[in-house]
Structure 1
Amino acid sequence: MWMPRPDPGRTAEYHAAGYWRDDTIPGLIGAAACRAPDKIAVRDASGEQLTYAELGAQSDRLAGFLASRGVERGDIVTVCLPNWCATVVAFVATMKRGAIVNPIPVTYGRADIAYVLTKCGSRALFVSGRFRSVDFTVALSEINAAALAGQTIVRVGDGEVDIGTPWTEACSYTANAGVVKLAADDPAAVLFTSGTESRSKGAVHTHNTILFGERALSRALAIGANDIAFMPSPVSHTTGFMHGVVMTLTLGGTLSLLDVFEGGRAARQLADHRCTWTMGATPFLADIAAALEQTGSGLPDLRYFMCGGAPVPEALVRKAGAIGLRVMSIYGSTESPPHTVVHPDDPAENAWTTDGRPLGGIEVRIVSTEGLVLPVGEIGEEFSRGPNTFVGYLDEPELTAKDLAADGWYRSGDLARLLPDGSLRIVGRLKDIIVRGGQNISVREVEDYLVSHPAIQSAAVVAVPHPRLGETGCAVVVVRSGCSVTLAEVVEFLLAKGVARFKMPERLEIWPALPMNPSGKIQKFLIRKKLAESADGRQS
């Protein structure tokens, strides 16, 4: 398995500039525990909470369990858990072993989980017994045995199938006595993200790439140890993992986690925990604002509501502002975590007219299809470069070379322009993905499954606007002669294949043919145009 490493030239440059240091994530969390051992480090919606001392002790015992099962420095540990205190313990214990954290969403289907485990060669897997409507013990029992071969499974809670080691047992081991020497330029996390490829790709980050980005963001927003972060975004995603868990705990702050999002519930937890900042996709903002408006309550402790993943509508920002929420748009990707943000001293309208200004130490440029750097106001592809940029894709050297240039510039695949004040504005995408409520969906992956349906001859999936989620998927299909298919049948077929529910098309169009150019490539712009012109797309 090919594990990407930092470029030697940029490594020397960033260390010399002080951008990269010798700190590691568990080392900084341990230092925070020494400063304030009795301070609450993390609490969740169930009422469970851990002080820094308790987080340290429990993660030490869990690291001891991982050591007893042969998990070593450089191994990958997959964590498929909701926003719980236990999830944070699993993250910290994994890193204390020198292993690499691989958080994956609990919305992943059976096929997604099997793919990631195989791709990573994971040595251990943390799962919940049940969460919401999913029994993960059943899902694991249906996965090909080869994908689970040689893995240690830890189960948080019970399910129908008795699989793996119970969480309480794993956390009762003797604390790991053997000190694992960590290096700041070692890989710390593999975060999977969907792009134009048919399968998700694992972006590899080191302690230094993660920590630089979190220092830059916290410095821009003056976030520190006295802050309380509210995180409704899954800690399996970049937002929750990096900005929620890592930034908060390395600063010595307090993290408030919500596992099942609902606007009223989120608003109450924000108030009860006296949270000072939060970050989430547009639907989170819309639902929290609606709940506050309905109850007439406010959040006087909340300084910032950072919003990304999709354009933030002006009407929503104004509505939020009217009830006391300061909205600040933020932009980035798993490969180049938020590298632009609306700063506190920027005009309020920048929240809906821009996607923020670059953080200190991070460069942004707009590039034409010919590779020329474009002036202010011209639209091209957004490139970024900085000490926060990932080091490559796990076991994908060719894809890494395609997206990450030798001189460190990452190609976002997003169309954008720079504004006179230095702000960035995203205007579209080159990549063929759907951003549903802040979650990326690879349309090619869904299309590959659709064309395996016995009734479907050809298929195209495109994004259609949605008032709350930003975008949802519309499947446009051509059926085989004498066949028919309904949306319900398509969803049932995809679920049976193990596809995650959030990737399901939410609209189905049956056409006699798909528009193609002379070379046979489907012309999706014509599909989008026709769907947009349709007053009411009929669902089957």
Structure 2
Amino acid sequence: MWIPRPDPGRARRYHAEGWWRDVSIGQAVAASCAARAHHVAVLDAQGGTLTYAELDAASSRLAGWLQNQGVGSGDIVTICLPNRAEAIVAFLGALKLGAVLNPVPVTYGPADMAYVIGKCASKAVIVAGRFRSADYTAYMARILPDLGHAPAVLVLGEGAHAVGTAWEEALARAPLADTAVPDADGPAAVLFTSGTESQPKGAVHSHNTILFGERAMARALDLTADDIAFMASPISHATGFLHGFAMTMMLGGTLSLLDVFTAPAAIAQMRAHKASWTMGATPFLTDTVRELAARSEALPDLRYFLCGGAPVPEEAVRRAADADIRVLSIYGSTESPPHTLVHPDDPAENAWTTDGRPLAGIEVRIAGADGGGVATGEVGEEWSRGPNTFLGYLDAPDLTAKALDADGWVHSGDLARGFPDGSIRIAGRIKELIIRGGQNISVREVEEKLLRIPGCRQVAVVGIPHERLGETGCAVFTVDPGTTITLADVQRFLIEAGTAKFKIPERVEVWERLPMTPSGKIQKYLIRKQLTDGIGAGGTRP
């Protein structure tokens, strides 16, 4: 398995400049545990509460169980848990062994789970028994026989199938005797992201790339150990993992976790826990501020609401301001975690007119087709470079070379324009990607499955605007004579194929023909325009 490493020249420079240090994530959290033993580290919606001393003890017991299962330094541990205190125990327990974390969103279906576990050759898998409508014991029972290797399985809660070891049994084991001290430049996490390729890609981050990015963000926001972070974004997704777990635990602050988001529940928990900042996709913001406005209420302790994944509506920013909440738009990717931010001293309107300006130590450029710069205000591809960028894709050197050039620039595939103050504005995407409620959907992956529907001749999946989610998917088909394909057909087919529910199109069209170029390529921008203009193409909508 090919695991990328930092470029030696850039690594030397980042260490010399103080951006990178000889400290791992586990060591940073251990320092918080020692300094703030009796301070509350984690709270959750089920009433779970852990002080730093309790987190330290529980994670050591979990690490002892993992070690007993043969997990050691450099092994990958896949963790698919909802926003509960136990997820933080799992992260820290694996880090104490020097293992590499692979957080997996709870929205993954069995096909995605099987892919990432196989790709990572995961030595252990930690899952919930059930969460919402998903039974992860059923997923594991389906996955394990065909996996090709036998990871240890740990289950939090009950499911329909008897697989692995129960959480309580694992935590009854003796604690780990000796905590590992990993290389801070070595891999710390594999974060999967769906891009334009049909399969998810595993972005490898080191301890230093993660810690630098979180320190830079904390400095920009003046966050300290006294802050309380509210996180409804999945803790096993990049946003929750990086900014909920890594940053909050590094600072020695308190993390408030909500596993099922509704605006009333979020407001109640932020008020009860006195949350001082939060971060989430645009739907979280719009739902929260609408609920606050309807109640004529405020959240007096909440200073910042960081928002990304889709354009931030002006109305939502103004409603938040009425409740004394400052909205700060933020932009980045799993490969280059949020690297531009509307800073607290920027004008308020920057939250809806820009996607922020670079954090200290990170470079951003807008590149033309030849790789050279473009004039201020002109559109080009957004590139970023800095101590926060990923090392490469797991076992994919060719894909890495496409996304990360020899000079260390990450090519985002997003079109953007720059402003004189250094802010940028995303203008569109080169790569075919739907961002639904902050989660990335590879259209090619969905299309490849839909092409297997009997009677399907062609299919194009495109993103169409949605007031709350930013975008949702629409599948447009051409079919054999006498064939009908409905939304119910598509949903049933993709669910049976193990597709995650958030990836399933929410609208289906059957057209007589799709717009094509002379060379036979489907012109998706015309499909998107026809759908959003309500024109159609002589077809019918089921």
Alpha-carbon distance, 1:294 to partner:
2.1
Q: 1:244 is matched with which residue? A: 244
Q: Secondary structure at the match of 1:460?
A: strand
Q: Secondary structure at the match of 2:513?
A: coil
Q: 2:235 is matched with which residue? A: 235
Question: What amino acid does structure 2 have at the position aligned with 1:44?
Answer: D
Q: 1:61 is matched with which residue? A: 61
Question: What amino acid does structure 2 have at the position aligned with 1:458?
Answer: Q
Q: CA separation in 1, counterparts of 2:396 and 2:181?
A: 27
CA contact (8 A) 1:487 1:539 kept: no
User: 1:476-499: per-residue Cα shift (whole Å, max 9, x none)?
Assistant: 011123221110011000000000
Q: 2:324 is matched with which residue? A: 324
Higher mean C-alpha deviation, range 315-324 or range 247-256: 315-324
Q: CA separation in 2, counterparts of 1:361 and 1:414?
A: 21
TM-score when normalising by structure 1: 0.99
Question: What amino acid does structure 2 have at the position aligned with 1:470?
Answer: G
Is the aligned partner of 1:280 residue 2:280?
yes
User: 1:281-301: per-residue Cα shift (whole Å, max 9, x none)?
Assistant: 110001111221222221110
Alpha-carbon distance, 1:514 to partner:
1.5
Q: Secondary structure at the match of 2:9?
A: helix
Map 1:41-120 → 2, pairs under 5 A: 41-120=41-120
CA contact (8 A) 2:472 2:506 kept: yes
Aligned residues: 540
Task: Identify if the C-alpha distance between structure 1 residues 144 and 162 changes in structure 2 by more than 3 Å, giving closer, same or farther.
Answer: closer
Map 1:67-466 → 2, pairs under 5 A: 67-143=67-143, 145-147=145-147, 149-466=149-466
Q: Secondary structure at the match of 1:417?
A: strand
TM-score when normalising by structure 2: 0.98
CA contact (8 A) 1:117 1:148 kept: no
CA contact (8 A) 1:44 1:257 kept: yes
Alpha-carbon distance, 1:148 to partner:
6.5
Question: What amino acid does structure 1 have at the position aligned with 2:133?
Answer: S
Structure 2: 5+ residue runs without aligned partners? none
Q: CA separation in 1, counterparts of 2:143 and 2:360?
A: 45
Q: CA separation in 2, counterparts of 1:105 and 1:29?
A: 23
CA contact (8 A) 2:121 2:149 kept: no
User: 1:368-410: per-residue Cα shift (whole Å, max 9, x none)?
Assistant: 1121111211110000000000000001000001110011000
Is the aligned partner of 1:27 residue 2:56?
no
Q: Secondary structure at the match of 2:143?
A: coil
Q: CA separation in 1, counterparts of 2:315 and 2:535?
A: 23
User: 1:81-132: per-residue Cα shift (whole Å, max 9, x none)?
Assistant: 1011011111001111111000011111111100111111001001111111
Q: CA separation in 2, counterparts of 1:367 and 1:175?
A: 52
Alignment RMSD, CA only? 1.1
Q: CA separation in 2, counterparts of 1:25 and 1:354?
A: 32
Q: Secondary structure at the match of 1:370?
A: coil
CA contact (8 A) 2:511 2:540 kept: no
Alpha-carbon distance, 1:428 to partner:
0.6
Q: CA separation in 2, counterparts of 1:374 and 1:276?
A: 39
Task: Identify if the C-alpha distance between structure 1 residues 39 and 205 changes in structure 2 by more than 3 Å, giving closer, same or farther.
Answer: same
Q: CA separation in 2, counterparts of 1:229 and 1:129?
A: 27
User: 1:409-432: per-residue Cα shift (whole Å, max 9, x none)?
Assistant: 000011001101111111111010
CA contact (8 A) 2:144 2:150 kept: no
Alpha-carbon distance, 1:142 to partner:
1.9
Question: What amino acid does structure 2 have at the position aligned with 1:474?
Answer: C
Alpha-carbon distance, 1:179 to partner:
3.4
Q: CA separation in 2, counterparts of 1:93 and 1:50?
A: 14
Q: 1:13 is matched with which residue? A: 13
Q: CA separation in 2, counterparts of 1:153 and 1:423?
A: 46
Q: CA separation in 2, counterparts of 1:122 and 1:33?
A: 28
Q: CA separation in 1, counterparts of 2:379 and 2:150?
A: 50
Is the aligned partner of 1:521 residue 2:521?
yes
User: 1:154-200: per-residue Cα shift (whole Å, max 9, x none)?
Assistant: 00001111111000111111111133231111100000001100011
Q: Secondary structure at the match of 1:373?
A: coil
Question: What amino acid does structure 1 have at the position aligned with 2:15?
Answer: H
Q: CA separation in 1, counterparts of 2:295 and 2:166?
A: 41
Task: Identify if the C-alpha distance between structure 1 residues 269 and 125 changes in structure 2 by more than 3 Å, giving closer, same or farther.
Answer: same
Q: CA separation in 2, counterparts of 1:18 and 1:314?
A: 38
CA contact (8 A) 2:510 2:540 kept: no
